[in-house]
Structure 1
Amino acid sequence: MATLDITCLRSLVTVASFGGVRRAADALHLSQAAVSGHLRRLESELGFPVVTRQGRSIAFTSRGEDLLREAYRLLGEHDAALSRLLGPDAGDLVVVSTDHATEPLLRAVARVLARDHPDRPIRFRFHRSARVRESVHDRSADVALGIGDLGHGTRHIADIPLTWVGPADRAPETGKLIAFTAPCAIRERILASEAASGRRLARECADLISLLAAVRTTGGITALPQTRDRETGLRRLAALPPLPAVPLSLVTSRRLAARTRDDIASALHETWCAHG
């Protein structure tokens, strides 16, 4: 009987969230070979291809997209079960982040946590911002980075500018809008923008890899944070009306000392100013 390894599923979800193996490996503090090996192990176990090459990029196969949906559900159940069994204060320090938090920001959080808790491993989980908000409320995360209001204790870190992008190899079909599935702050700004007037929502995507692939294959347009607007196969569309920025927000658990919480916020501010 086939089995699904939780570590491999976490790599799969991170690849989807970050739009590629290299950035997923950086975020997970693993080698690219390790993350690629996790994907190959899933393919070997299940007997079908999960990802496919698209030039210098990758995309999910249709069955890979099915696996991704199951992976999100299984990881959520797995992490919730551990929280119930071990309690909120046991085991690893957990950082839950939106995929729009850059690798330098995640390193800044890890440095503060490692300084104050050198004996506790740090584990990263990556979700859409709606799931990040849930992790704050169910106390399954020690640090949460997301887009918009994360509820009680939300701290504003930075405003992330958005940029319109389209395919690099042809004239963009500006009548086709590509967006993340709801709920999503970037989607809301796309659909409410002046540029959306008279255009149709051509495709909704659950993850970054699918979004990028949809823009490349359909020729449509979307908006991305400026930290991600240089994706392979895409180009900026400066002629379209500007979009309002999205707020990057932080919530830290009361299980962390006040000094640790304040230092995480300060480190994020400083890192954003240096790298944002």
Structure 2
Amino acid sequence: MHHDLQITRLRTFVTVVDRGGFRRAAEALHITQPAVSQQIRQLGTILKGPVFLSTGRELKLSPQGTELLGYARRIVALNDEAVSRFIPTTGSTRISVGVVEQLADALPEILRLFARQLPRAQVTVQTGLSESLEGQVTSGQFDCALLLQNQLRLPPSLSCPLGLMRMDWFGRPAYGEGAELPLTLFSEPCTLRGPIMEAFSDAGVSWRVGYEGDQFVGVRSAAQAGLGVACLIANGDELWGLPKTVRSALPSPPGPVPVTLAMSGPGAASGIGPIAEKTFQNALRDYPFVE
């Protein structure tokens, strides 16, 4: 036979214990005292014994009541955690944000500014490559995202240009005169990969792939380790201590690359766009945008 303890009964039980009496529990729960008594009796029926040995001035739990109390607290807490995850508290806002990894060092300022604009907001953040984040915005997994890429599939109504970011060459790989220059590249899909290779080919510089990966930390580490030349945002030396490439024969880096606020349909409908635009612009004010 199936028995259901019910969250309401367990919450009433926990409140009786915490408040120290049936009357106080009824006041806290905004129900009548007979309703509290009935729910406690129903629990006793399931336990096949009393929940309390005494309900006078000092409550005294029965052995089975003491054991049930531990379960009740955990069940009520888990219920409330699940509810808060899917049903925000009245007056609060949930915002899911994607941030391209190359701009992730601005996250503390981004979160601080969101908290200032929306003090009751619950903000969740995920970082990744722009191409991946764009797909997640399109599918509604994020309300908005900060992207750094040349080409967007999003319609103009769901994207807001924030400016153009200057790029530069980083890394000082060791290679002999006349040898192919090793490059550190992001794996496909990457809208900057093609322009990087074209820049070297058009300049007549022979190149090869020295490192290839789909994570920013790997590409950055490869440039630091001297595995190849990487094209990254122009303040990479200040942010990550990357050595700028000093070869005179190098072509100009591709770019500048658009920085864009992308929004999902629900995100745009919620009105988060102007707040996110202001937040991202202020958080990136010291980054190397084209004047």
For the aligned pair, the TM-score class normalised by the smaller chain equals: 0.5 to 0.7
Which residue of the partner structure matches residue 248 of structure 1?
A: 259
**Structure 1 residue 220 displacement after superposition:** 2.3
After superposition, the C-alpha distances for 1:215-272 in whole angstroms (9 at most, x for unaligned) are: 3445422211113244346333362211222111111344466764223213433443
The 2-side partners of 1:113 and 1:215 are apart by 33
Mapping for residues 1-276 of structure 1, pairs under 5 Å: 86=86, 92-104=94-106, 106-107=107-108, 109-148=110-149, 149=152, 151-152=154-155, 153-167=158-172, 175-193=181-199, 194-195=202-203, 197-217=205-225, 219-230=227-238, 231-232=240-241, 234-237=243-246, 239=248, 240-243=250-253, 244-253=255-264, 254-255=266-267, 260-276=272-288
Residue identity in the other structure for 2:146: L
Any gaps of 5 or more consecutive residues in structure 2? 1-81
After superposition, the C-alpha distances for 1:18-54 in whole angstroms (9 at most, x for unaligned) are: xxxxxxxxxxxxxxxxxxxxxxxxxxxxxxxxxxxxx
Residue identity in the other structure for 2:187: T
The 2-side partners of 1:113 and 1:141 are apart by 15
Moved more, 153-162 or 255-264: 255-264
The 2-side partners of 1:135 and 1:128 are apart by 11
Contact 2:175–2:181 (Cα < 8 Å) also in 1: no
TM-score by length of structure 1 reads: 0.57
Q: What percent of counterpart residues are identical?
A: 18
Contact 2:160–2:260 (Cα < 8 Å) also in 1: yes
Residue identity in the other structure for 2:221: A
TM-score by length of structure 2 reads: 0.54
Q: Structure 1 175/251 Cα, relative in aligned 2: closer, same or farther at 3 Å?
A: same
After superposition, the C-alpha distances for 1:52-76 in whole angstroms (9 at most, x for unaligned) are: xxxxxxxxxxxxxxxxxxxxxxxxx
Structure with the greater alpha carbon radius of gyration: 2
Aligned to 2:206, what secondary structure does the other structure show? coil
**Structure 1 residue 155 displacement after superposition:** 1.2
After superposition, the C-alpha distances for 1:174-204 in whole angstroms (9 at most, x for unaligned) are: 6111101111133222112135742122321
The 2-side partners of 1:145 and 1:266 are apart by 12
Contact 1:98–1:126 (Cα < 8 Å) also in 2: yes
Q: Structure 1 129/99 Cα, relative in aligned 2: closer, same or farther at 3 Å?
A: same
Contact 1:95–1:144 (Cα < 8 Å) also in 2: yes
Residue identity in the other structure for 1:227: N
Aligned to 1:234, what secondary structure does the other structure show? coil
